[in-house]
Chains A and B, each alone.
Chain A
Amino acid sequence: MKRPFYILLLIISTVLQAEAQNPAWIVPDDQKGKISLLKFTPDMAKQGEVIYMKNCQSCHGIPTKKNFAAIVPSPGDLSEPIVGNQKDGELFYRITTGKAPMPEFRNILTEDERWTVISFLRSFHKGYVQPDPEKLAASAGRRIKLSMVYDTAKRKIMVKAVELTKEGPRPAQGAVIVLFVQRYFGNMQMADPKTTSESGYAGFEWPQDLPGDKAGRVILSAKVSDPTGSMQEAVVRDTLSIGVPTDKPALTDTRAMWSTRDKSPVWVILTYTLAVIVVWYFIIYIILSVLDIRKIKELNL
């Protein structure tokens, strides 16, 4: 009697909660107009597919197959018109910012990678025509070039931002820089974002205990993260030997009770083998000597 009522209540409250927690996902107007500066090509769509399969497929499924995950709110099939009819900027914004349970890809995929995914999705949207990137290139914001070095004395990663202007390169002040170090499942952000100084430098404290590979190498990437869009995205990647050289042995390297037979503790092998040999030596000896009983009669005759 009580139970069905409870379940009903649970369902209603869940639905209501879901409603309350999921207001419409509005994209700010100034973001809607954003477009890709790269031309969408079949090649690019193919690259996008690789990124999609790794990052999106687990929830959204394979486009047109409608095999998306059963999650509330539903992730939906991204080949549907409800996605196709959105502007490039809207899709870009949604991928960038995410909305629980969808993760935010701001720091997981670069801008180019996000556009590459969109180019893959657009290959399913019939009648889609890409806005001409050439026309917008001019007004796309300041072009920045980054470079990084490790300052051994200060123990800091110094990221330098240079603005490429018509007059030539000059230090870019006020660029917001984020520094990442590459790990197996994704990039790890190091410290908080820093703004470049007058000389175009942003310094990041380098932790002295971060593991690198066998030779202490770590792959770092720095990028300009400018929420206002006045600067174009810029990324620099570099491999520096500033991590702690890490070459931990495999966990199975020692002999142990739990290890495989080949790595059995020596005393276990010896004890077992010796016990078996000793006991079976006597058993076989007894069997053979008892069989000898048959011979004895003949010997005496």
Chain B
Amino acid sequence: MDENTVNNRDEQEPSKPSRRNFLKNIGLLGAGVAAGAGALYSGDIFEKKKAATGESKVLLTQDNKLVEVDSLEMRVLAKNPTKLMLEKGREGIPGKRWVMVIDLSKCRNARRCIAACQDAHQLKPEQYHMNTLQMQDSPGTAPYQMPKNCQHCDNPPCVAVCPVDATYKRGDGIVLIDNIRCIGCRFCMAACPYSARIFQWTTPKDADKHNGEAYNVELNVPQKLGTISKCLFSADRCREGKLPYCVSACPNGVYYFGDENEDAVTNGTSKETVRLSKLLRDNGAYQLMPELGTKPRVYYLPPKNRLFPFEPSTD
């Protein structure tokens, strides 16, 4: 305290330090310190969470199972289902790191993935979480169809710029959006190099029908005017042990989805489960624009030995 006082005097009125000014300085400094402490405290909460473990308690669940719960993890359930889902949606599924593999040799632009996705997420026809793009890397190389969704980057540029923690990355790798909090600044759209994000510019599809429904952050429905949407790796389905909507809907076996920690991905069409590392190695897998350092969680298998000829779509 003495040291602070001396400093303040120096900054203020070296010639004539009045008693009033002196007190004022202390007050000012106090306010400053409080602001700084507040900022640091928020960081501290995280450290504490990491370090401390409470005692565990044994509880009886509704389906008559005895479960052991860490008392720090227990919380009283709020009556508000939206809030409940928002809280649950912030926590990833423990031990998982979701990964998607897209086999370009099998895509013939059937667009069933898109239809299933738009249906699940209440999207209009021109709104894409998943879109198939006609690509041609250079004039001499062959064109191909490339399904493109959010890459759920491990270094997500979109999440970095969000001013309000509305979009966030979970422990299991999924990048989600909390549209109860989103302010609609669209900085994330500008930051995303994959153009993965869309915005609800006008009243979302079937807004009247879904008006008043609880908001499910893992499905991002009902969609909200003036907020962001994008591919969520079907976080709701992953929780239930089901493959994402697009993956299950593909008739051509393009998609694999699974858990990197298990080293296994399951094909959405054949339901065959294969080793991720072998699939990537044997097929020369690559990622989209890895030079940007975004570390995507989506891999592509190159379009060689194609099952279908390239057909340009009409639009």
* CA distance in complex: A187, B118 (Å): 29
Take A100-B251, A103-B271, A273-B36 as given contacts and tell me if A262 and B46 are in contact as well, using a CB distance cutoff of 8 Å: yes
Kindly supply a per-residue 1/0 record for chain B positions 13-39, scoring 1 wherever the CB is within 8 Å of any chain A CB and 0 otherwise: 000000001001100110111011001
> Do B172 and A250 have beta carbons less than 8 Å apart?
yes
For B249, give its contact among A58, A100, A274 (CB under 8 Å): A58
Kindly supply a per-residue 1/0 record for chain B positions 275-300, scoring 1 wherever the CB is within 8 Å of any chain A CB and 0 otherwise: 10000000000000000000000000
For A247, give its contact among B95, B154, B264 (CB under 8 Å): B95
Chain B residues near A7: list those with CB within 8 A: 314
* CA distance in complex: A262, B40 (Å): 9
- Give the distance to chain A from B276, nearest Cβ to Cβ, in Å: 10
> Do B96 and A184 have beta carbons less than 8 Å apart?
yes
For A277, give its contact among B11, B36, B171 (CB under 8 Å): B36
> Do B28 and A281 have beta carbons less than 8 Å apart?
yes
The answer to the question of B266 belonging to the interface, with a C-beta cut-off of 8 Å to chain A, is: yes
Chain A residues near B42: list those with CB within 8 A: 261-262
Take A258-B159, A272-B39, A277-B35 as given contacts and tell me if A185 and B314 are in contact as well, using a CB distance cutoff of 8 Å: no
For A184, give its contact among B24, B36, B112, B258 (CB under 8 Å): B258
Q: Is the interface of B mostly helix, strand, loop or mixed?
A: mixed
The answer to the question of A170 belonging to the interface, with a C-beta cut-off of 8 Å to chain B, is: no
* CA distance in complex: A183, B96 (Å): 11
Kindly supply a per-residue 1/0 record for chain B positions 28-69, scoring 1 wherever the CB is within 8 Å of any chain A CB and 0 otherwise: 110111011001101101100010000000000000000000
* CA distance in complex: A288, B252 (Å): 72
> Do B46 and A211 have beta carbons less than 8 Å apart?
no
* CA distance in complex: A55, B248 (Å): 9
The answer to the question of A128 belonging to the interface, with a C-beta cut-off of 8 Å to chain B, is: no
The answer to the question of B71 belonging to the interface, with a C-beta cut-off of 8 Å to chain A, is: no
- Give the distance to chain B from A245, nearest Cβ to Cβ, in Å: 11
Chain A residues near B265: list those with CB within 8 A: 185
Binding site for A on B (CB under 8 A): 11-12, 21, 24-25, 28-29, 31-33, 35-36, 39-40, 42-43, 45-46, 50, 92, 94-97, 112, 115-116, 154-157, 159-160, 165, 168-173, 241-243, 245, 248-249, 251-252, 257-259, 261-266, 269-275, 314
List 10 additional A-B contacts (Cβ < 8 Å) besides A54-B242, A185-B266, A253-B50: A105-B271, A183-B258, A186-B266, A188-B273, A211-B262, A247-B95, A250-B94, A252-B92, A261-B42, A289-B21
Binding site for B on A (CB under 8 A): 3, 6-7, 10, 54-55, 58, 69-71, 100-101, 103-105, 107-108, 183-189, 209-211, 213-214, 246-248, 250-253, 255-264, 266, 269-270, 272-274, 276-277, 280-281, 284-285, 288-289
A-B contact pairs, 19 of them (CB 8 A): A58-B249, A100-B269, A108-B271, A183-B259, A210-B263, A211-B263, A214-B95, A250-B92, A250-B171, A251-B97, A251-B170, A252-B92, A261-B42, A261-B165, A269-B43, A270-B40, A277-B32, A281-B28, A285-B12
